[in-house]
Amino acid sequence: MTWLVSRLVHFAIVMWGVTTLVFIALRLTGDPALMLLPADPTMEEIQLTRQKLGIDQPLLVQYVRFFLNAFRGDFGISFRHGVDATSVVLERLPASAALAGVALLLSALLAVPMGVLAAVYRGTPIDLGIMGLAVIGQGVPFFWLGLMLILIFGVELGVLPTGGYGTLEHFILPSLTLAGYIMASTARLARSSMLEVLDRDYMQTAHAKGLSPAVVVLKHGLRNAGIPVVTFLGIQMGLLLGGTVVVEEIFGWPGVGRLLLQSISFRDYPVVQAATFILAMAFVLVNFTVDLLYAVLDPRIRSHR
């Protein structure tokens, strides 16, 4: 129970930290009144707008008000779209979440078997090949991987769309790119946690019982080696949310990341803040959920922390 409380406190601190960061960023941007008004406004106009925005108040009042507004999801009206900034962001959220989810699934389906294979065939060419691939994978800038995938499958072979959104085909290249972001490290972790499990007593017992090697590895091994891998993948979900910014930009994916970048170049600050805040919250929430799940999966954790 104390564990749960300490996680909740941590969660609250992080949320507070993120909100404060966004607030500071807002204050650093300069006078929002000047940004809203047409060129060369009169002093009166400036004063009026500042009053309307509430930025004539003391900083502390502004901070508290911002805090409350942020948690109500009120970041103001988008300069560019003319509607509530939060709804602009929320509209784009499903596309980003879908991309990150598919990428996560893909990297689990590809990287975990590779890691297990490398562990089982430790020291053989299979292991060296897979781990060599992982080492190279960690050196590849994943946005470049995306460009290369476009070049090969989109341009040279012409079999897959190079950008856009809609059908299942549109998912392949972006999600592969994003999966590539975390696959190397996932495979390495899967390998090392499998190795740790392989020479445990219960594995010997399972072998001795006469079970087939595949059953031993998959049922007895992977089940135990899987716990750290699942947690790791959960933590990576947050990284993926960050990574979507880049991948969406490359593939013209209509998600929050692309919206964020576009809003930066349009100086559409309400949307920038809403997007940053919502992505960060999603990240924090996912981490929190993974922590909880982890404790449910493995009761030992609760007493350890």
Residues that bind another protein (rule: CB under 8 A) add up to a total of: 64
Q: Which is nearer to another protein, 224 or 287 (CB)?
A: 287
Cβ–Cβ < 8 Å for 115, 127: no
Q: Contacts with another protein in 177-196 (CB under 8 A)?
A: 181-182, 184-185, 188-189, 191-192
Q: Tell me: does residue 43 bind another protein (CB under 8 A).
A: no
Tell me the window of 33-41, 199-207, 217-225, 239-247 that interacts with another protein (CB under 8 A).
239-247
Q: Of 8, 52, 105, 144, which lies in the binding site for another protein, with binding defined by CB under 8 A?
A: 144
Residue 226 CB, nearest approach to another protein (Å):
14
- Euclidean distance between the first and final Cα of the chain, in Å? 11
114 in contact with another protein (CB under 8 A):
no
- In this chain, which of 78, 236, 270, 274 binds another protein, going by CB under 8 A? 236
Range in contact with another protein (rule: CB under 8 A) among 86-94, 140-148, 200-208, 211-219: 140-148
Contact status, residue 256 vs residue 99, Cβ threshold 8 Å? no
Q: Which residues of 138-150 are buried (b: 16+ CB within 10 A; e: fewer)?
A: eeeebbebbeebb
Using CB under 8 A, which of 272, 274, 290, 295 touches another protein? 272
* Choice between 111 and 216, CB closer to another protein: 111
Among candidate residues 259, 255, 252, 262, the one with its CA nearest the CA of residue 162:
252
Q: Rounded distance, CA 88 to CA 86, Å?
A: 5
- Any contact of residue 136 with another protein (CB under 8 A)? yes
Between the CA of residue 97 and those of 36, 37, 175, 246, what are the distances in Å?
A: 32, 35, 11, 14
Residues whose CB is less than 8 angstroms from the CB of residue 170 and which lie 6 or more positions away in sequence, other chains included? 161, 163, 164, 251
Of the candidates 23, 217, 248, 1, which has an alpha carbon nearest to the alpha carbon of residue 115?
A: 217
Running DSSP on this structure, what letter comes out for residue 87? Answer: H
Residues near another protein (CB under 8 A) are 10, 13-14, 17-18, 21-22, 25, 28-29, 122-123, 127-128, 131-132, 134-144, 147-148, 150-151, 155-156, 162, 181-182, 184-185, 188-189, 191-192, 232, 236, 238-239, 241-243, 245-246, 249-250, 260-261, 264-265, 272, 276, 279-280, 283-284, 287
